[in-house]
């Protein structure tokens, strides 16, 4: 992020497809100060180029003259790879600057000679230069960098130090090889710098510390080492490594080190780490200042502005932004045209203090900062202007459309408002340590050792405004019972929490754990509203884990494309109870109140589960939870958890229908008999009355009427008892019918489309309600007939006849019902139609 862009002064491109690194650029006044800095660029492909940028400002065009072909002084190939370039007084007896080039195999020092040429008219053709080898050293290892300086404090001469890739330092006192110094703590070549004032080498180590070595001590140590080797092996411990004079723990990898002379008595060591910029004092042990960088730096250059000794640092971020810091304060930032690998500050002929940058692919540019901001201009939105009149027209059209629909939208918003008006939350939790009431504890002590679980359900009503006449109904399906299934609040303010308990009663199979809470209330405006909320009780209310049973008569297979899940994921509540056998693939669940065991077995081969039980009705709950959870956890609902409709499901429903029907007929029979007996009783009474009126009391006993009366009464009472029994039998049969229908529906649900499923559910999935003549069978029959007719593919006319509810009297009619049911299932499930139809035909034959 910067306001400015750098201005181009001079630009060229070095070679094609050559690579450069941070050591590839050298700017030095090779031909004396008056001829200014020469740019020397060495590439990894071995080419050496020297440039003398002659760009100057042209007032007419308001631009610099930029690159001219005469700026290139020499282009030559030296070796296969140029690693580093340095300038210095490398030849003894001469104060002229020589160029030292470090290539992959040798270190060469060149004499650089300037040839000034001009054409016949005396116009300058540009300077040319020639390279002559002064001397060279062969290198045994691959070098990484070159450091030069008056090591040991010599006057007027510069020595050379080559760092190899493994960190070994080779010292050359000009033409003579001095010594080799292996370094401790260094795996790779790291930045190294020489501080002439203190005759000190500052280098980073691989353990992210700065280490300072005095040249003198290194030289002495290596001399001693030679003596030691030539002499004896005494003092072997000391032989390996030289301890650094001082260290500073930077704590991050170091990208570069530079030395600047701040004043005549102060030297600063500027260190660029991966995340920080440090300026160390000359003793290399304390920080002058540090700056945490909020970007990843690429390269940097430190320099001092002369008169007042201000230390400036150029840092280039990886967003190719140039930052110029004075101390830790940002003085300027500008955007560079590309991301460079190295940067230098150069004095050119016509411009001083130019920033020269070199990119990895050889783009070389000299640029200056310039004070004219390059403002960011947002791209225009409407390239051809904006037609406000058309927009106005469109807006008015749209508004008309909206206002015509506004009635409906208003309704919807008020619907949203009702949600906000009353919030109902139902929270069910299993009560483990409840206080047992007396009656319960007695009953449990007799019947079973473990107490039946009781579920606490907390119903929380919260509303913002006050609501009146709040009535709460709680509904659970049998055999669950609720302590308080209805309560009313005269007015609800803010929040109300009611705690009710749900417990099991009787030994009927459970098929649903839903708790539905219906709340009706009246708003201030006098409108009655109702909110329904359904929640599920925990599975443990009804089921317990037990050892799985291997054989069972009733099996439901649930299979799917989705990968099967472990039982710990499907039934996490039971995984704790079960002993954690490795790879258990069967789970036994026992119904608490009936004692029936349901076993869930996961198939080894395919993606399926088998739910088996001796009693089909017990497995409803397990199958429901299994499909819900499996389907919920895996992605696609349609593909996951589809149990297949088996014959056993339909057969189970048929059996229940038979039972229920038999119970009804039993009741009918008893009712009829009672009818007969009561008419008989009435006749007897009439006779007795008549006899009494004739006042021959003596003869009353003789007629035997009292005896007959007695017997009839007794018979009626006996029949009434039977009737009560038959009623409970019917209720139970009705519940079981509901259960099996529920299982059938559950199984159908995954095979049929949602719409069809809803239709079927509406047709048969309701509670049997005993009434005089009509019961489940009749209603279901009528509904199924209608369903079959509506889904019949052949009949094109959509005839919707209202079937008259006729009481089913005979087994034959009942069989028709069964066939219709089978057909309906077959039609919905689609694929399995033929299967079931055949089976049904057999079934019908059997039962008739």
Partner 1 sequence: MELFKALNLFNQGKYEDCATICTNLLKKNPLDQTVWVLKMRALTLQIYVDDIEGEEEGIAESLLDNYTISSMPRPGTSLKNPGTSFTGQYLRPKTQSGRPLTGVVRPATQSAMSQSIEQTLKTPRTAMTARPITASSSRSVRLGTASMLTEPGGPFIQLSRLNISKYASQPCIAKPLFEYIYYHEHDVRYALDLAVQATQVCQYKDWWWKVQLGKCYYSLGLIRDAEQQFKSALKDSKTIEVILRLVRVYVRLDQPLTALETCKKGLEYFSNDVNILTEMGRIFDSLNNMSMSLKYYKIIAQEDASHTEAIASIGIHHFYNDQPELALRYYRRLLQMGVYNAELFNNLGLCCFYAQQYDHVISCFERAISLSTDETMADIWYNISHIALTVGDIIMAEECLKLAIVSDNRYALAYNNLGVIQIRNGNITAARTYFHAAANIANFLYEPHFNSAYLAYKVGDLQTSYIAVQKSLSTYPNHADSKTLLNKLERYFTYM
The contact set with partner 1 (CB under 8 A) reads 1-3, 19, 21-22, 44, 81, 83, 104, 142, 144, 165-166, 185-189, 205-208, 249, 251, 253, 255, 274-276, 287, 289-292, 294, 296, 298, 318, 328-330, 333, 341, 360, 373, 375-376, 378, 381, 399, 402, 410, 413-414, 416-417, 420-421, 423, 464-466, 493-494, 524-525
How many angstroms separate the Cα of 148 from the Cα of each of 89, 167, 174, 304, 478?
A: 9, 16, 10, 20, 95
Return the biggest CA–CA distance within the chain.
175
**Which string of b and e fits 614-646 if b means at least 16 CB within 10 Å?**
ebbbbbbbbbbbbbebbbeebeeeeebbbbbbb
Helix and strand tally (H, E) in the chain?
14, 45
Q: Give the shortest CB-418-to-partner 1 separation in angstroms.
A: 8
The three-class DSSP label of residue 143 is: strand
Q: How many Å separate Cα 448 from the centre of its chain?
A: 48
The C-alpha atoms of residue 452 and residue 542 are separated, in whole angstroms, by: 8
> Of 56 and 333, which has the nearer Cβ to partner 1?
333
Q: How many Å separate Cα 839 from the centre of its chain?
A: 49
> Of 138 and 693, which has the nearer Cβ to partner 1?
138
Q: Give the shortest CB-375-to-partner 1 separation in angstroms.
A: 5
The C-alpha atoms of residue 503 and residue 505 are separated, in whole angstroms, by: 7
Q: Give the shortest CB-158-to-partner 1 separation in angstroms.
A: 25
Q: Give the shortest CB-202-to-partner 1 separation in angstroms.
A: 18
Contact indicator for 43, 101 with CB cutoff of 8 Å: no
Q: How many Å separate Cα 607 from the centre of its chain?
A: 26
> Of 340 and 548, which has the nearer Cβ to partner 1?
340
The C-alpha atoms of residue 562 and residue 629 are separated, in whole angstroms, by: 12
> Of 115 and 402, which has the nearer Cβ to partner 1?
402
> Of 318 and 573, which has the nearer Cβ to partner 1?
318
What is the four-CA torsion angle of 133, 136, 142, 146, rounded to 10 degrees? -80
Q: Give the shortest CB-221-to-partner 1 separation in angstroms.
A: 21
Report which of 652, 674, 776, 778 is spatially closest to residue 726, judged by C-alpha positions.
Answer: 674
> Of 144 and 355, which has the nearer Cβ to partner 1?
144
Specify the DSSP class assigned to residue 164.
E
> Of 21 and 349, which has the nearer Cβ to partner 1?
21
The C-alpha atoms of residue 88 and residue 100 are separated, in whole angstroms, by: 8
Q: Give the shortest CB-105-to-partner 1 separation in angstroms.
A: 10
> Of 244 and 509, which has the nearer Cβ to partner 1?
244
- Looking at the DSSP bridge assignments, the partners of residue 276 are 292
Specify the DSSP class assigned to residue 728.
H
Contact indicator for 599, 548 with CB cutoff of 8 Å: yes
The C-alpha atoms of residue 109 and residue 90 are separated, in whole angstroms, by: 7
Q: Give the shortest CB-188-to-partner 1 separation in angstroms.
A: 6
> Of 347 and 406, which has the nearer Cβ to partner 1?
406
Q: Give the shortest CB-539-to-partner 1 separation in angstroms.
A: 24
Contact indicator for 422, 531 with CB cutoff of 8 Å: yes
The C-alpha atoms of residue 321 and residue 292 are separated, in whole angstroms, by: 16
Q: Give the shortest CB-140-to-partner 1 separation in angstroms.
A: 14
Positive or negative: CA dihedral 773, 779, 780, 781: positive
> Of 231 and 417, which has the nearer Cβ to partner 1?
417
Specify the DSSP class assigned to residue 59.
T
Q: Give the shortest CB-420-to-partner 1 separation in angstroms.
A: 4
| CB neighbour list of residue 480: distance below 8 Å, 6 or more residues apart | 502, 503, 504, 505, 510, 513, 537, 541
Q: Give the shortest CB-48-to-partner 1 separation in angstroms.
A: 18
> Of 274 and 475, which has the nearer Cβ to partner 1?
274
Positive or negative: CA dihedral 538, 542, 545, 551: negative
> Of 44 and 434, which has the nearer Cβ to partner 1?
44
Q: Give the shortest CB-274-to-partner 1 separation in angstroms.
A: 8
The C-alpha atoms of residue 837 and residue 393 are separated, in whole angstroms, by: 64
> Of 467 and 745, which has the nearer Cβ to partner 1?
467
The first and second tokens of residue 8, run together, are 């181009």
Q: Give the shortest CB-24-to-partner 1 separation in angstroms.
A: 10
Q: Give the shortest CB-290-to-partner 1 separation in angstroms.
A: 6
Report which of 330, 331, 322 is spatially closest to residue 367, judged by C-alpha positions.
Answer: 322
The C-alpha atoms of residue 315 and residue 322 are separated, in whole angstroms, by: 6
> Of 410 and 710, which has the nearer Cβ to partner 1?
410
Geometric angle at alpha carbon 713, from 709 and 715, rounded to 5°: 120
Contact indicator for 26, 20 with CB cutoff of 8 Å: no
The first and second tokens of residue 103, run together, are 């290539």
The C-alpha atoms of residue 664 and residue 772 are separated, in whole angstroms, by: 10
Q: Give the shortest CB-513-to-partner 1 separation in angstroms.
A: 25
> Of 273 and 509, which has the nearer Cβ to partner 1?
273
């Amino acid at each position: 992020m910067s306001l400015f862009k750098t201005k181009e002064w001079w630009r060229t491109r070095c070679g094609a497809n050559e690579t450069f690194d941070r050591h590839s650029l050298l700017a030095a006044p090779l031909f004396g100060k008056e001829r200014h800095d020469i740019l020397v660029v060495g590439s990894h492909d071995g080419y050496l180029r020297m440039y003398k940028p002659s760009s100057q400002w042209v007032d007419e065009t308001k631009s610099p003259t930029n690159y001219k072909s005469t700026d290139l002084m020499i282009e030559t190939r030296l070796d296969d790879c140029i690693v580093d370039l340095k300038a210095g007084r490398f030849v003894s007896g001469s104060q002229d600057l020589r160029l030292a080039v470090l290539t992959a195999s040798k270190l060469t020092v060149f004499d650089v000679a300037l040839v000034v040429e001009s054409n016949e008219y005396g116009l300058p053709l540009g300077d040319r230069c020639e390279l002559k080898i002064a001397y060279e050293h062969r290198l045994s290892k691959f070098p990484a960098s070159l450091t030069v300086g008056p090591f040991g404090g010599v006057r007027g001469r510069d020595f050379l130090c080559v760092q190899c890739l493994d960190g070994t330092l080779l010292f050359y006192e000009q033409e003579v090889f001095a010594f080799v110094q292996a370094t401790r703590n260094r795996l790779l070549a790291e930045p190294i710098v020489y501080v002439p004032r203190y005759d000190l080498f500052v280098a980073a180590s691989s353990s992210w510390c700065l280490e300072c070595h005095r040249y003198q001590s290194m030289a002495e140590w290596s001399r001693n080492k030679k003596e030691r080797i030539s002499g004896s092996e005494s003092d072997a411990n000391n032989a390996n490594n030289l301890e650094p004079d001082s260290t500073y723990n930077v704590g991050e990898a170091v990208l570069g080190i530079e030395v600047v002379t701040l004043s005549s008595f102060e030297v600063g060591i500027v260190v660029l780490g991966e995340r920080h910029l440090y300026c160390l004092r000359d003793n290399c042990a304390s920080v002058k200042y540090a700056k945490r960088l909020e970007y990843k730096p690429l390269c940097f250059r430190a320099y001092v502005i002369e008169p007042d000794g201000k230390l400036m640092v150029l840092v280039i971020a990886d967003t190719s932004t140039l930052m110029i810091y004075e101390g830790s304060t940002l003085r300027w930032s500008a955007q560079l045209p590309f991301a460079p690998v190295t940067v230098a500050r150069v004095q050119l002929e016509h411009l001083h203090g130019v920033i020269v940058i070199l990119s990895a692919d050889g783009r070389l540019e000299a640029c200056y900062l310039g004070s004219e901001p390059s403002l960011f201009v947002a791209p225009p939105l409407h390239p051809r202007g904006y037609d406000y009149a058309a927009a106005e027209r469109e807006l008015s059209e749209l508004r008309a459309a909206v206002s015509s629909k506004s009635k409906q939208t208003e309704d919807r918003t008020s619907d949203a408002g009702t949600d906000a008006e009353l919030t109902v939350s139902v929270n069910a939790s299993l009560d483990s340590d409840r206080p047992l009431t007396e009656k319960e504890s007695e009953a449990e002590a007799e019947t079973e050792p473990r107490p039946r679980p009781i579920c606490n359900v907390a119903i929380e009503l919260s509303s913002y405004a006050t609501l009146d006449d709040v009535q709460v109904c709680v509904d659970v399906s049998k055999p669950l019972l609720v302590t308080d299934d209805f309560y009313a609040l005269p007015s609800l303010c803010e929040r109300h929490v009611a705690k009710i308990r749900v417990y099991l009663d009787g030994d009927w199979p459970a098929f649903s754990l839903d708790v539905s809470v219906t709340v009706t209330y009246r708003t201030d405006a006098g409108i009655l509203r109702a909110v329904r909320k359904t929640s599920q009780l925990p599975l443990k209310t009804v089921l317990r884990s037990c050892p799985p049973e291997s054989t069972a008569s009733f099996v439901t297979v649930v299979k799917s494309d989705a990968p099967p899940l472990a039982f710990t994921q499907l039934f996490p509540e039971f995984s704790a109870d079960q002993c954690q056998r490795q790879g258990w693939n069967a789970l036994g669940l026992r119904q608490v109140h009936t004692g029936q065991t349901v076993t869930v077995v996961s198939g080894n081969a395919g993606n399926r589960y088998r739910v088996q039980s001796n009693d089909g009705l017990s497995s409803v709950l397990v199958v429901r939870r299994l499909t819900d959870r499996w389907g919920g956890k895996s992605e696609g609902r349609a593909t996951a958890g589809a149990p297949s409709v088996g014959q056993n499901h339909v057969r189970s429903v048929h059996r229940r229908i038979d039972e229920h029907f038999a119970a009804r007929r039993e009741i009918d029979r008893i009712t009829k008999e009672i009818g007969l007996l009561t008419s008989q009783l009435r006749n007897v009474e009439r006779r007795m009355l008549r006899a009494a009126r004739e006042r021959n009391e003596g003869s009353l006993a003789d007629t035997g009427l009292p005896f007959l009366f007695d017997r009839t009464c007794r018979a009626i009472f006996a029949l009434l008892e039977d009737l009560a029994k038959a009623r409970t039998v019917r209720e139970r049969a009705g519940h079981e019918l509901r259960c099996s229908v529920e299982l059938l529906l559950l199984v159908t649900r995954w095979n049929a489309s949602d719409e069809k499923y809803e239709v079927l559910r509406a047709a048969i999935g309701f509670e049997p309600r005993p009434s005089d003549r009509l019961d489940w069978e009749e209603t279901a029959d009528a509904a199924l007939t209608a369903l079959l007719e509506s889904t019949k593919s052949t009949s094109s006319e959509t005839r919707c006849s209202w079937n008259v509810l006729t009481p089913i009297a005979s087994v034959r009619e009942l069989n028709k019902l069964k066939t219709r049911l089978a057909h309906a299932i077959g039609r919905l499930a689609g694929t399995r139609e033929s299967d079931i139809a055949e089976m049904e035909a057999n079934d019908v034959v059997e039962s008739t």
